[in-house]
Amino acid sequence: MYPEALSYLRCPHHPAHALTLSADDVQGADGTIRDGTLTCVGCAARYPIRDGIADLLPGLGLPPTLAQLTNALPVAAWAYERSWRPRALTLLTGEPFGYERELPLVVGLVDVPRGGLIVDVACSNGLYARALERARNGLPGHVIGIDHSLPMLKQARAFAQREGVRISFVRARAQALPFAPATAATLVMGGSLNEIGDSGKALSELHRTLAPDGRCVLMSLVKGSTTAGRTLQAGLGLGGVEFPTLTELNRRLAVAGLRLRAQWRYGVVVFSLLMRS
């Protein structure tokens, strides 16, 4: 985690309360806060920083679903961007859809030159976070990656350090984002809405933290149109992955107060550009 994240982070239980850094923190050569403790100024809750990652979920038990449990395994975190993720959209859409197509689409939709706080929610290995930080190119603000899986965050930090991009990674849940209301200029979520559990609460948190003129981009999956596709999705559903219809997805967005500005569908993959209602 980097010092510039401190001005944005709040206690996940009390979003109005800031977090202060302990005086005995240890910094790395690149300025990262490698070890230390964050304390809520309101409730005095203490959260550790270890190996450059702020853990706002200390002591969290086992993930509630098989899908979330899989994401918490170190081997899954190591393999995610080395195997599945570069091929995922091509396989899911049935057309060429590599990073060279996906990442410019996401970066262009969020209009990175506006600066400010940029959050990759349920970031996994931090693919979107790295793309957004490269596009930010020194503008005021900061990129923060949020995920509930510590192994995913460790791999995300390793990738960011390897590429030389300055991103803070924080362990937190999408249903309790550690930010004050209306502070995020940009929110992105790449495919995680289908498996994070209470998607309605997560969408409400996106609405709560998004600035009045902010932008949110979701890449998510909807119910398949073929028998084979729906059969596969039904099997994945047993592990906690849900696939709403496009109509149901858009209903959930509206209920959460997120206004759909534009939307693109490629097979079961949907990109949604959202703003606050």
Q: What is the pLDDT of residue 112?
A: 77
- At residue 177, the pLDDT reads 97
* Residue spans of the chain under pLDDT 50: none
Please name each of the domains of the chain with its CATH number. 53-276 (3.40.50.150)
CA dist 123 and 13 (Å) reads 21
pLDDT for res 61 = 65
Q: Look at residue 60 in the predicted model and tell me its pLDDT.
A: 67
Tell me how far apart the alpha carbons of residues 210 and 207 are, in angstroms, rounded to a whole number.
5
Which 8-state DSSP code applies to residue 75? H
Whole-model pTM over 0.85: yes
pLDDT at 3: 95
- Give pLDDT, residue 62: 63
Burial 235-246 (b: 16+ CB within 10 A, else e): ebeeebbbbbee
Question: Contact 260/274 with Cβ under 8 angstroms?
Answer: yes
